């Protein structure tokens, strides 16, 4: 603890990067197309749907949501679920809600599917939204059908399983994975509740047709919405380090037992690799021939750094603090 306190004191006095070098990076090459096929299938299923639950990552509550959802599916009652709240720094939750309300999103719930936190709020909220909608003309049909949408890897399937676990005491009905692209098709209806009778439709993650900026692309990548190798683990690790230091979040120093915080990603990854024993043999041509030397495995260290962040081992993080600050300034 003394080491960590000393490192934080030194870090607080350090001058961190005020910006991240974004030149030459093209987020259009990182992300697949906007997956129009999946969106069309969702639209074709809309006539069966009473309400839309949009799931997004609570670490990026203001960035990366697909604007096409509102355009193409926006005629139905809409609930925004900000999942993975256990991984997000929510000290400015009120500002987040105010900003979302300004965008017309009045129904927002923060959830943690690992511990089923706030999951019980979803069915009552959805029921109220449907019954108060002027489009609610269902006659004697008392069942509800809800479509669950979102960008890749935000926890849509986990949310369905969590609701089902709480209300039906049943196991998994939807596949869950730590990588984007696990759900590839609009599935058949999954019952999640008996009273009221509620069915959910799981859907594949659908990204926006165009990522607004490189920085937004990096935030989305950090949250696992695209395969890491498409962006580059070391690039993502550098952006993560930049973000943590700029916001004075030095949990990585304690987690890896480092001597101090540092803003140079190569130096940090070298220390992480050596701490974890992640080294690799490299052939070096010398005057006397080829010599095998051991070097830090920077790619392996970057991957470990990213996984530690995504698991919450580096502490809760709000990647949209810059967006929130801009909102306050306006």
Residue 95 lies in a domain: yes
Residue 108 lies in a domain: yes
Residue 227 lies in a domain: no
DSSP element (H, E) containing 82: strand 78-83
Backbone angles phi, psi at 72, to 5 degrees: -95, -25
Residue 224 lies in a domain: no
Domain co-membership, 127 together with 269: no
Split into its structural domains, the chain has a count of: 2
CB 147 within 8 A of CB 42: yes
Q: Which of 31, 151, 29, 178 is nearest to 82 (CA)?
A: 151
Domain co-membership, 151 together with 245: no
- Spatial separation of the C-alpha atoms in residues 197 and 208, rounded to whole Å: 32
What local confidence, expressed as pLDDT, does residue 181 receive?
46
Domain with residue 273: its CATH number is 1.10.1580.10
Q: Is 157 annotated as a binding residue?
A: yes
Domain with residue 168: its CATH number is 3.40.50.300
- Spatial separation of the C-alpha atoms in residues 43 and 147, rounded to whole Å: 10
Beta bridge partners of 296: 279
Domain co-membership, 188 together with 249: no
What local confidence, expressed as pLDDT, does residue 217 receive?
94
Domain boundary among 147, 181, 202: 202
**Per-residue pLDDT of the chain in tens (330 residues, 90 and over written 9):** 444 545 554 555 567 898 898 887 888 888 776 567 778 888 888 888 999 999 999 999 999 998 888 887 777 899 999 999 999 999 999 999 999 999 889 999 999 999 999 999 999 999 999 988 866 555 566 789 999 999 999 999 999 999 999 999 876 665 555 555 444 455 678 999 999 999 999 888 888 888 889 999 999 999 999 889 999 999 999 999 999 999 999 999 999 999 999 999 999 999 999 999 998 887 777 767 677 778 999 999 999 999 999 999 999 999 999 988 876 555
Domain co-membership, 50 together with 141: yes
Residue 21 lies in a domain: no
Residue 207 lies in a domain: no
Q: Is 153 annotated as a binding residue?
A: yes
Domain co-membership, 262 together with 165: no
User: pTM (2 decimals)?
Assistant: 0.88
Domain co-membership, 260 together with 192: no
Q: Is 85 annotated as a binding residue?
A: yes
- Spatial separation of the C-alpha atoms in residues 242 and 179, rounded to whole Å: 24
Half-sphere exposure for 142 (CA within 13 Å, toward CB): 6
What local confidence, expressed as pLDDT, does residue 137 receive?
57
Domain boundary among 187, 202, 217: 202
Domain co-membership, 183 together with 253: no
- Spatial separation of the C-alpha atoms in residues 294 and 296, rounded to whole Å: 7
What local confidence, expressed as pLDDT, does residue 182 receive?
45
Q: Is 260 annotated as a binding residue?
A: no
Domain co-membership, 193 together with 243: no
Domain co-membership, 176 together with 323: no
Domain co-membership, 249 together with 153: no
Domain co-membership, 194 together with 321: no
Domain co-membership, 39 together with 143: yes
Q: Is 84 annotated as a binding residue?
A: yes
CB 178 within 8 A of CB 203: no
Beta bridge partners of 198: 144, 193
Domain residues for the domain of 253 are: 232-327
Q: Is 86 annotated as a binding residue?
A: yes
Residue 210 lies in a domain: no
- Spatial separation of the C-alpha atoms in residues 264 and 10, rounded to whole Å: 15
Q: Is 156 annotated as a binding residue?
A: yes
**Cα–Cα separations (whole angstroms), residue 177 to 114, 140, 156, 311:** 13, 38, 10, 13
Helices (DSSP H) in 169-246: which residue ranges? 214-222, 228-231, 233-246
Angle between helix 233-246 and helix 265-276 axes, rounded to 10 deg? 110
Residue 13 lies in a domain: no
């Amino acid at each position: 603890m003394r080491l960590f306190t000393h490192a934080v004191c030194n870090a607080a006095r350090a001058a961190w990067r005020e910006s991240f070098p974004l030149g030459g990076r093209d987020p259009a090459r990182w992300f697949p197309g906007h997956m129009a096929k999946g969106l069309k299938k969702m639209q074709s299923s809309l006539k069966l749907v009473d309400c839309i639950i949009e799931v997004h990552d609570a670490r990026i509550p203001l960035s990366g949501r697909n604007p096409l959802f509102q355009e193409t599916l926006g005629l139905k009652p809409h609930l925004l679920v900000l999942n993975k709240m256990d991984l997000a720094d929510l000290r400015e939750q009120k500002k987040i809600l105010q900003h979302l309300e300004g965008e017309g999103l009045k129904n927002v719930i923060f959830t943690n599917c690992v511990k089923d936190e706030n999951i019980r709020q979803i069915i009552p909220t959805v029921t109220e939204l449907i019954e108060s909608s002027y489009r609610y003309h269902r006659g004697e049909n008392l069942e509800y059908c809800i479509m669950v949408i979102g960008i890749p890897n935000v926890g849509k399937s986990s949310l369905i399983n969590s609701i089902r676990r709480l209300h039906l005491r049943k196991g998994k009905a939807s596949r869950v994975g730590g990588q984007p692209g696990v759900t590839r098709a609009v599935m058949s209806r999954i019952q999640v509740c008996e009273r009221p009778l509620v069915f959910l439709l799981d859907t594949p993650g659908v990204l926006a047709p165009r990522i607004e900026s490189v920085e937004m692309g990096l935030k989305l990548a950090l949250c696992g919405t695209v395969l890491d190798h498409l962006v580059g683990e070391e690039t993502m690790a550098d952006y993560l380090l930049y973000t943590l230091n700029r916001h004075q979040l030095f949990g990585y120093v304690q987690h890896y037992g480092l001597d101090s915080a540092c803003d140079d990603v190569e130096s940090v990854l070298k220390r992480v690799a050596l701490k974890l024993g992640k080294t690799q043999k490299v052939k070096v041509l010398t005057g006397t021939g080829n010599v095998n030397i051991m070097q830090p495995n920077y790619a392996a260290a970057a991957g470990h750094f990213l996984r530690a962040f995504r698991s919450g081992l580096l502490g809760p993080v709000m990647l949209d603090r810059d967006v929130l600050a801009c909102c306050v300034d306006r």
